[in-house]
Amino acid sequence: MKFLFVGDIMLGRLINEELKGKSPEFPWGNTLGIFAQADLRIVNLECALTDWGEPWSSTPKSFHFRSDAKNISVLKSAGINMVSVANNHALDFGYKGLAEMIKILKENNIVGAGGGKDAAEAAQPAAVEFNGKKIGMIAFTDNEPAWEAGITMPGIFFVPSNLEDLRATKLLENISSIRQEVDYLVVSAHWGPNWGYQPLPEHISLARALVDAGADVVFGHSAHVFKGIELYNGKPIFYSTGDFIDDYAVSEEERNDETFIFLLDRNGPARILLYPAIISNSQVNLATGERAEEISKKMINLCAALNTTAQWDPELKVLVIQII
């Protein structure tokens, strides 16, 4: 089975405007051929996909990302199967916006995790079946504590990245229990600040604990740049998959326009294929030539710091990590 992961999908602001006159396939550029190779496609939806709600104002917030409800067609055009809504933009347009987004996802057979009408629903794993196998996903965030879902309060699945916190303990217990009910378990983590190429020490500790509890892959995001990949007990930890679709200004110091498609291939000897890509003018396209190699060299070095070997395949134009 082939699992495809990409980081933050932000369909608001300029991209929302572009989509008023362009096809749903437009933001994906020339990457959809890679998406078609996967059996399951998983992303972080970094906006409120809704026509309703008012901008969040109960606590300070600089940016509010809304994408028209019709833009669910963008996710469908790429064959997205599962999304995380446990992030710092899911409630940008309030509880009403969150509720409509979850409803739209369900109506379009895209399973979401990490948000809901109360704490129980927000923590509930999403699940899909493929070829007789059940794949589950739990999604949490350590961002926006004010949005934490409660016993009778809608919101997102908020868990601090602190192993001493009772909420982290409960998360690990839930993972162990859920792992008995599924054949493969993804844990999505929207954690940490916007910048920084190195994983935080608390994220390393938590990620390894997630694997020990039963996660088969840790799908990290939140930072605008990618981070290195760790293989821990034979399980991949993607500390940050970076941005993938957005309209953000580009930092010259930390290149948030550089990204990857992360394809976890479990057919035969397990391996990870990393396709370098570039975000420009509200669209993502595969990187080519020297730029592709430069982006890949950065990832090779970041992986090496985590004792992971990544090698550039000049024929396939892809980075390869063998999972032992």
CATH of the domain at 311: 3.60.21.10
Nearest to 111 by CA among 134, 87, 89, 80: 80
* Chain CA centroid to CA 114, Å: 12
Q: Residues 6 or more apart from 64 whose CB is under 8 A from it?
A: 12, 48, 55, 56, 89, 92, 93
Q: What is the pLDDT of residues 204-244, one digit of tens each?
A: 999 999 999 999 999 999 999 999 999 999 999 999 999 99
Q: Is the Cα dihedral 200, 286, 68, 104 positive or negative? A: negative
Provide the domain limits for residue 153: 2-322
Quote the pLDDT of residue 280: 97
The whole-chain average pLDDT of the chain stands at 97
Does residue 324 carry a pLDDT above 80?
no
Q: Residues 6 or more apart from 229 whose CB is under 8 A from it?
A: 236, 237, 238, 239, 272, 299, 302, 303, 306, 308, 310, 321
**CB–CB of 277/286 below 8 Å?**
yes
- Give CA–CA dist 309/320, Å, rounded: 9
Q: What is the pLDDT of residues 97-154, one digit of tens each?
A: 999 999 999 999 999 999 999 999 999 999 999 999 999 999 999 999 999 999 999 9
Q: What is the pLDDT of residues 152-206, one digit of tens each?
A: 999 999 999 999 999 999 999 999 999 999 999 999 999 999 999 999 999 999 9
Q: What is the pLDDT of residues 47-63, one digit of tens each?
A: 999 999 899 988 888 89
Quote the pLDDT of residue 59: 82
Quote the pLDDT of residue 120: 97
Own/partner contacts of 100-108, CB < 8 Å, gap of 24 or more, are: 100/49, 100/50, 100/51, 100/52, 100/53, 100/69, 101/45, 101/48, 101/49, 101/50, 104/49, 104/50, 104/69, 104/72, 105/49, 105/72, 108/72, 108/75, 108/76
Quote the pLDDT of residue 222: 97
Quote the pLDDT of residue 289: 94
Mean pLDDT within 303-316: 96
On whether the pTM is more than 0.85, the answer is yes
Q: Which two tokens stand for residue 97?
A: 């916006």
Quote the pLDDT of residue 139: 98
Total number of domains in the chain = 1
